[in-house]
Amino acid sequence: MVKTGEKSTETALGYEQARDELVEVVRRLEAGGTTLEESLALWERGEELAKVCRRWLDGARVRLDASLAERSDATGASSSDSHDGNGKAENGTV
């Protein structure tokens, strides 16, 4: 189940913002000096931010794949129009 805080984080943060905040969370955890409760809160925030980043990256991958597939389809259609099945153009040239 998605918490309301997680949902608002997803919609409010862009990839770069989430990544930068995640870097800061990791830095603070690695530096130490926080209480157990603070460390747990930082860890949970880091998990939220990592999910936001993953969703942005997954969305970007889908968009890139769709664009590449569209481009490939367009290229395939134009090359199949001008060639017979043997790789030769209809006018006999390769």
The per-residue pLDDT for 21 is 98
pLDDT-derived band at 45, boundaries 50, 70, 90: very high
Q: One-letter amino acid identity for 38?
A: E
Q: Domain segments of the chain: what residues? A: 8-77
Cα Rg of the chain (Å, integer): 24
Helices (H), the chain: 4-12, 15-31, 36-82
Domain covering 8-77 assigned CATH 1.10.287 in the classification: yes
Whole-model pTM above 0.75?
no
Look up residue 33 and give its two tokens: 């000096």
Burial readout 61-77 (b: 16 or more C-beta within 10 A, e: otherwise):
eeeeeeeeeeeeeeeee
Indicate whether 49 pLDDT > 80: yes
Which one has a higher pLDDT value, 6 or 49?
A: 49
